[in-house]
Amino acid sequence: MILSEKDAYWAADKLVNYFSDFKRIDDYFRSRKIDRIKEMPMPLFGLGPEDDLFQNFDVHPQDMDFEVVKRTGETFDNLLEMTASFSPDDPPGKNSKLCVQEKNSGKIVGFIKLASPLINAKPRNEWLGRPLQTENKEEMQHFNRGTIMGFVIVPAQPFGFNYLGGKLMAAICCSHDVRRFLNDKYGGPFCMFETTSLYGNIKGGSMYDGMRPFLRYKGDTESKFFLTFADDMYHEMRKWFEEKNDGVLVHKGASSRKLKTQTKMIQIISNSLKQHNAAAHEKFVQFRKDTENVTTQKRFYMSTYGYANSREYTLRETDKLVKSDQWDKYELSNIVNWWKKKASKRYENIKSEGRLRTELEVWRKDNIDSIDIIR
């Protein structure tokens, strides 16, 4: 498909104007968050879904206990939208939604969404000793059976701030409880967990730092990617292109259809400009590079779920997984005890300094400009 010169200029200007407000990745996150929250209905006083979130910040970490609960549907999505700084679309491939609840209160302290792993990641390649053979179907199926990605790991706030809730959520992702859940749902056996930091190198550290043996930093990703459109922008542009094309750009049953459709739109604009005006095409190519530069390298973290030979198993050098001498540390009860030591020190320090936060922090239409996007 080649657009007319007039249409190519219109579509290119539409993209340039849309992305011109995003100088850093957190600018983009805030814009996406505003769009999503505006679409959510305002609940009646006292009847909001946030009532399901943990709010008793007089409780000492030593008096808490936790369980992992499978959640699906609108309640999970709405609570996550109200809690998380970033509003990701559902991932392609695997998609499991879990809540972590404090047992004594029955209230939610965090959210986990697990998904299929990245196909290519430089830190993982270096750890394995070579890239995955992506053209080898058997190797890729074996890799996907044994590896999961933490797509969303979000503590409720201020539980996260007061109690190092992000570290608790991340450590639970590495627990045998979650590994067994994945094995039951997908077959497995799962022997690797991966995740990346949300803000990359615009923030000095990550909540995943200081979490050995459960999570270990393996390096920074190299990937740059074109930011995805907000929902309104996507639907407007897709409708316009489909009218010009007299049909869909990507068939309705395709995986990752939104991403593939956006990629196709950008390719069509670029190819059309190249045919009509070389200078305009060069300018558009530079715009694409500048937009990709808004994204940042992500800190990449891995867990082996307590296995001693996850690397060899993933590379198909062995067909038997071997437990390491740290295996028992990955049981949920031991993870909670590990967290309690860290969280108790944190809680007692900020309480003595008068920095304990006691008000629930959720995104709403009436406070959208008062919550930090990086927290």
pLDDT at 91 over 80: no
Average pLDDT, the chain: 87
Between these two residues, 84 and 128, which has the higher pLDDT value? 128
pLDDT at 1 over 70: yes
pLDDT at 335 over 90: yes
**How much is the average pLDDT of 3-17?**
93
Confidence band (pLDDT; 50, 70, 90) for 76? confident
pLDDT of 201: 54
5-19 and 231-245 helices cross at what angle (nearest 10)?
170
CA atoms of 29 and 231, how far apart (whole Å): 13
pLDDT at 5 over 60: yes
pLDDT at 329 over 90: yes
Between these two residues, 291 and 358, which has the higher pLDDT value? 358
DSSP string, 120-146: --HHHHHHHTS---TT-HHHHHHHHHH
3-class SS at 303? Answer: strand
**How much is the average pLDDT of 180-190?**
96
Buried b (16+ CB within 10 A) or exposed e, 58-78: eeebeebebebeebeeeebbb
pLDDT at 315 over 70: yes
**How much is the average pLDDT of 141-147?**
95
pLDDT of 195: 95
3-class SS at 323? Answer: strand
**How much is the average pLDDT of 353-365?**
87
Summarize pLDDT for 227-242 with one digit per residue, the tens: 777 777 888 999 999 9
Q: Are 364 and 83 in contact (CB under 8 A)?
A: no
Domain boundaries, the chain: 5-25+227-292, 49-222+301-352
pLDDT of 366: 67
**How much is the average pLDDT of 33-52?**
64
What separation, in Å, do the N-terminal and C-terminal C-alpha atoms of the chain show? 44
pLDDT of 44: 45
Which of 36-45, 57-66, 264-273, 337-346 shows the lowest mean pLDDT across its residues? 36-45
Distances in Å between the Cα of 344 and the Cα atoms of 163, 336, 339 are: 7, 12, 8
Confidence band (pLDDT; 50, 70, 90) for 221? confident
pTM: 0.78
Summarize pLDDT for 101-133 with one digit per residue, the tens: 999 999 999 999 999 998 888 999 999 999 999
Confidence band (pLDDT; 50, 70, 90) for 64? very high
pLDDT of 373: 47
CA atoms of 262 and 260, how far apart (whole Å): 5
